[in-house]
């Protein structure tokens, strides 16, 4: 059996090797390493795929979030509401810009930000909400957009884990996650659903003015060459990464189907186990399973993970510590117990291998070992 990994980028590469190698070689032959034709081609393809007016490529997902908030003109002291159960980058850029992160708890089923908790957290200082489409499933965007409208707030979607997922509106229409709020952000970190072979990111918007401003911010605040009207940053997607992304974008929907098939198999294996809660699929999103995350119920999670490790089955905890309990983010406004759902999830969740190259033998092996542990305890 092939070695089981959380993500198997090498096997995926071997399946698209000739396309990838040719694209990389073309960039090297052209030596157009920065802002070359590959970047523009990928940008156009991605705009079409997402059905969004503007894609602004940048250096990584964290920059995408930072540039969004800079372009919105948020000022120190402005409050930005986000989820207490997410990767640190979401809160990090808020703190770096001296904005005030306001955390709210999540829904215990979907792990996504809870709109009722958002509404309770809104104050006269609130300027923006950053919903995170966690683990590949879209947050409840209609409720969140309604709050934005009512309270005149910006929505910046952290779509780093959900590239390619659809949000399904009440009337049945669909939009890609990340294209519903004022701005959407994504990451092309290698293990993300659309990943490159290094760092990369992108920002999406349908707003022409915001797009123009974000293109200025990512390019040193420069409006005319060597005239800097704003303090910006240097954040670019390089041409080799764009060339790789062009190839991988053409496989993205097929990759999402493969991930869903893995999730279906895990669901079937674990759906009747009382000691595990399978991920709940929310009807408004076609989950793209960046992660397959189970909630353990009344079992020793650490012992399970250690048992699996002895069998060569990796399992990870995303995330072990809630934002308000991270050392760098300790804040007198918050104390343990303030976000009970997040705190419970941090103590009980674990994620199993999830990628596009898992074969049936590996899946059988993973599930039978998890079940063996459950039967023993």
Ligand X SMILES: *Cc1c(COP(=O)(O)O)cnc(C)c1O
> For ligand X, which residue of 68, 161, 241, 285 counts as binding (CB under 6 A)?
161
**Taking CB under 6 A as the rule, does residue 36 contact ligand X?**
no
Q: How far is CA 356 from CA 227, 241, 263, 289, in A?
A: 46, 20, 11, 10
- Nearest residue (CB) to ligand X, 192 versus 215: 192
- Nearest residue (CB) to ligand X, 187 versus 362: 187
CB of 195 to ligand X, least distance (A): 9
Q: Given the rule CB under 6 A, which of 59-67, 147-155, 258-266, 333-341 is the region that contacts ligand X?
A: 59-67
Those residues whose C-beta lies under 8 Å from the C-beta of residue 149, and which sit 6 or more positions away, are none
Q: Given the rule CB under 6 A, which of 2-10, 60-68, 216-224, 281-289 is the region that contacts ligand X?
A: 60-68
CB of 271 to ligand X, least distance (A): 27
Q: Using an 8 Å Cβ cutoff, are 158 and 111 in contact?
A: no
CB of 31 to ligand X, least distance (A): 26
Those residues whose C-beta lies under 8 Å from the C-beta of residue 310, and which sit 6 or more positions away, are none
**Taking CB under 6 A as the rule, does residue 87 contact ligand X?**
yes
Rounded to whole angstroms, the Cα distance separating 321 from 195 reads 25
CB of 90 to ligand X, least distance (A): 5
- Nearest residue (CB) to ligand X, 181 versus 362: 181
Q: Using an 8 Å Cβ cutoff, are 365 and 352 in contact?
A: no
**Window 105-134: contact mask with ligand X (x via CB under 6 A):** ---------------------------x--
Count of positions on this chain that bind ligand X (CB under 6 A): 15
Rounded to whole angstroms, the Cα distance separating 65 from 202 reads 9
- As given in the structure block, the two tokens for residue 179 are 């294209």
Those residues whose C-beta lies under 8 Å from the C-beta of residue 229, and which sit 6 or more positions away, are 216, 221, 222, 223
Q: Using an 8 Å Cβ cutoff, are 325 and 337 in contact?
A: no
Smallest CA-to-CA distance from 282 within 173, 158, 134 is with 134
- Nearest residue (CB) to ligand X, 130 versus 262: 130
CB of 27 to ligand X, least distance (A): 21
Contact residues toward ligand X (CB under 6 A) are 60-62, 86-87, 89-90, 132, 158, 160-161, 187, 189, 199, 201
């Amino acid at each position: 059996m092939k070695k089981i990994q959380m993500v198997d980028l090498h096997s995926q590469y071997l399946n698209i090797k000739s396309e990838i190698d040719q694209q990389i070689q073309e960039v090297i032959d052209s030596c157009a390493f920065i802002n070359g034709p590959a970047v523009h081609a990928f940008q156009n393809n991605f705009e079409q795929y997402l059905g969004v007016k503007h894609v602004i490529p940048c250096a990584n997902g964290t920059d995408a979030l930072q540039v969004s908030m800079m372009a919105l003109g948020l000022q120190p002291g402005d409050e930005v509401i986000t989820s207490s159960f997410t990767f640190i980058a979401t809160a990090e850029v808020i703190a770096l810009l001296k904005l005030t992160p306001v955390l709210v708890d999540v829904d215990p089923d979907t792990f996504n930000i809870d709109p009722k908790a958002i509404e309770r957290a809104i104050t006269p200082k609130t300027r923006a909400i950053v919903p995170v489409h966690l683990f590949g499933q879209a947050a409840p965007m209609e409720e969140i957009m309604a709050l934005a409208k009512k309270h005149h707030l910006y929505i910046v979607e952290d779509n780093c884990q959900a590239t390619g997922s659809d949000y399904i509106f009440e009337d049945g229409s669909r939009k890609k996650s990340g294209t519903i709020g004022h701005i959407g952000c994504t990451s092309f970190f290698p293990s993300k659903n659309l990943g490159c072979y290094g760092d990369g990111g992108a920002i999406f918007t349908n707003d022409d003015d915001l797009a123009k401003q974000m293109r200025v911010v990512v390019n040193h605040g420069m409006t005319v060459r060597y005239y800097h009207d704003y303090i910006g940053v240097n954040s670019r997607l390089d041409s080799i990464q764009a060339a790789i992304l062009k190839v991988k974008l053409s496989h993205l929907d097929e990759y999402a189907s493969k991930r869903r098939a893995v999730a279906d198999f895990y669901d079937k294996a674990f759906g009747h186990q009382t000691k595990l809660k399978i991920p709940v699929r929310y009807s408004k999103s076609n989950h793209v399973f960046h992660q397959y995350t189970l909630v353990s119920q009344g079992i020793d999670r650490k012992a399970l993970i250690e048992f699996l490790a002895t069998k060569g089955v990796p399992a990870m905890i995303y995330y072990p510590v809630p934002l308000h309990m991270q050392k760098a983010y300790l804040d007198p406004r918050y104390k343990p117990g303030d976000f009970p759902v997040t705190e419970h999830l941090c103590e009980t969740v674990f994620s199993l291998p999830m990628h596009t190259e898992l074969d049936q033998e590996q899946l059988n092996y993973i599930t039978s070992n998890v079940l063996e542990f459950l039967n023993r305890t």
